[in-house]
A and B are shown apart, each in its own frame.
Chain A
Amino acid sequence: MARRSTPGNIVTTTIDWAARWAQTQSMWPATFGLACCAIEMMATGTAHNDLARFGMEVFRASPRQADLMIVAGRVSQKMAPVLRQVYDQMPEPKWVISMGACASTGGMFNNYALVQGVDQVVPVDMYVPGCPPGPQSLMHGILTLQRQIMTGQKVSG
């Protein structure tokens, strides 16, 4: 936790490091379930998988209290403006995880109804592949995002 510690129980650190550490360890996702992937997102948050281990179990109903948006599922043309509005309501700093094939690319539905990738609407920090990605995949995505925030650099896989 500490950068340098001197004897006598004194810990010195930089504000920047401490702030990033705080951001990583208590990231609150907005509940933004859209389709099948949302069920897996719920499964990640409940018993057996228990997202609370990473300080993220507090799914906030209000975007104003959230700093992570997990886009879990397919985004229809009708939903896209709503999604953007929710994103705009979230306070900075904020991150977006695109969960599943549909959110990332449109998945198997290349048709008139779906937005072909949520990155056309909001900036995405992390893509989690799968249809649906299992809880382990989502947790891996979250941990990678945490590492990315901590180091301030793009981290892959």
Chain B
Amino acid sequence: MDEAPGRTVSADQETDTQYVEEWVSGTEVPDEMATGEGAQEMALQESGYRFREQLGAVVTDDYLYEEEVSEDERMIINMGPQHPSTHGVLRLQLELEGEMIKRCKPVIGYLHTGMEKTAETLTFMQGPTNVTRMDYLAPLHNELAFSLATEKLLGVEVPPRAAAIRVLMTELNRISSHLVALATNGMDIGAISMMMYGFRERELILAFFEKTTGLRMNHNYIRPGGVAADLPPGWRQDVANILKTIPARLGQYDDLLKENPIWLSRTQGVGVITAKECRAYGITGPILRGTGVEWDLRKVFPYSGIDQYEFDVPVGAHGDVYDRYRVRVEEIIQSLRIVEQAAERMPKGDFRADDRKVTPPPRARIDESMEALIHHFKIFTEGFRPPPGEAYTAVESPRGELGCYLVSDGGGKPWRCHIRAPSFYNLQALPVMLAESMVADTIATIASLDPVMGDVDR
């Protein structure tokens, strides 16, 4: 017990400590004590160590006086579900020994919405409306995973322009999600300015999303067969503006955090996890890459033609909170690269598949053609019927592997829909990361996981 830093007892202190050990509360008060106030007693100047302790000149804790920690010193406290730093409604049970966490148990389900069940009552066409509300910081990734799975069931190819729009939008979404992660991570550790900065830049991207999709969040924009609408007029200007503004602002964040000594001491060596543990728990995303593993689904299982874009996979080395923060910042830079390329080479053509059984006809055709009207009506009332079978597709969401597993029985609605939610798996890492760490590090660690409870509980 004495080896722990801050707990070493010098010879001088040892003799002083004797005094405290000799006096037990409730027994006769030794002469040095002026009043009978027991442990709250103001120590006399002659009492040496105890006096210095009360002055604040030495820092000690209760273990100094005891060899064994009794059962009563262990305390189980409850954190959440209503807690400002648990990122939603996460509840943790922590077993503490003084300031040290001995065990940690996440309790989830406070946001269980039954979305997978709801998906069985919605047609494939309506599906993205539902899944977009799961991981509400990366709604477009949810829609993409669902749409890719549906297209795999149908065997439909989307036109190149639709694929490029999907890449453009999801990468912008990755930036906005990482900005929120940085903002909340900063705020939880006390860098409140980061909160303001992160949300300021997010507004920029959200304004573009609102212009394109009609909504700031929960867009229902990426749908089976393509996207809901073409990019709005003037989109090049908006994207160029984003590409110009954000790199400059990233410099501001670096000024604020990158070498800030308080930030470094709160994040480096905190919440450490190894690559092996990550693999054992199925952890993906920036947490896995923070340990130095170059695993990114955009590289290993590319989707939407993302293998034609040039970008790097940033990795960390130590698997701690700081490395995860760095990986996210670097990923913003890489996503900006992809956005730039997507904007440059945006192909001309249709923004959704030209398959009247899957996608609605253009609005103008409905006034002219009876068939178009019938197709329109059929798609929005009963949808389409993929052949029986099952499909699993996964995309790299800002939090890791986001997969969608769909089973079709030949009807218009999925027979079963399951989402492999990255936050759910990443959250399992908490007990590993928090074991034998300080209570204050809990906050930093949770924030660095960037869990979205809607994604965990669904």
Contacts and interface: CB of A to CB of B under 8 A. Distances in A.
Contact of B89 (A34, A111, A132, A134): A34
Contact of A108 (B88, B129, B137, B183): B129
A33 B180 CA distance: 15
Interface stretch (B104-112, B387-395, B402-410): B104-112
Nearest to A112: B114
Contacts of A31: 82, 84
B186 to A, nearest CB: 12
Given A43-B203, A46-B200, A131-B218, A61 B84 contact: yes
B399 interface: no
Interface residues of B, number: 36
B110 A36 contact: no
Given A35-B136, A47-B196, A113 B217 contact: no
Contacts of B197: 47
B27 to A, nearest CB: 40
B216 A76 contact: no
B15 interface: no
A73 B180 CA distance: 18
A78 B202 CA distance: 32
A82 B180 contact: no
A48 interface: yes
A35 B199 contact: no
Interface residues of A, number: 33
A114 B203 contact: no
Contacts of B206: 43
Contacts of B84: 31, 59, 61
B117 A111 contact: yes
Given A35-B453, A132-B216, A79 B89 contact: yes
Interface string B195-227: 111011011001000000000111000000000
Interface string A49-69: 000000000010101000000
Contact of B199 (A33, A46, A113, A114): A46
Given A39-B137, A82-B110, A48 B218 contact: no
A111 B114 contact: yes
A113 B113 contact: yes
Interface in A104-150: 108-109, 111-114, 131-132, 134
B88 A34 contact: yes
B285 interface: no
Contacts of A32: 82
A103 interface: no
B376 interface: no
Contacts of A132: 216-218
A69 to B, nearest CB: 10
B146 to A, nearest CB: 15
A38 interface: yes
B130 interface: yes
Contacts of B82: 31-32, 63, 82, 86
19 contacts: A32-B82, A34-B89, A35-B111, A35-B113, A35-B454, A36-B218, A39-B136, A39-B137, A42-B199, A46-B196, A46-B199, A47-B197, A74-B113, A78-B110, A79-B89, A109-B118, A111-B114, A113-B113, A113-B114
- Shortest beta-carbon contacts, A-B, top 9: A113-B114, A36-B136, A46-B199, A47-B200, A61-B84, A111-B114, A47-B196, A48-B203, A79-B110
Interface of A: 31-36, 38-40, 42-43, 46-48, 59, 61, 63, 73-74, 76, 78-79, 82, 86, 108-109, 111-114, 131-132, 134
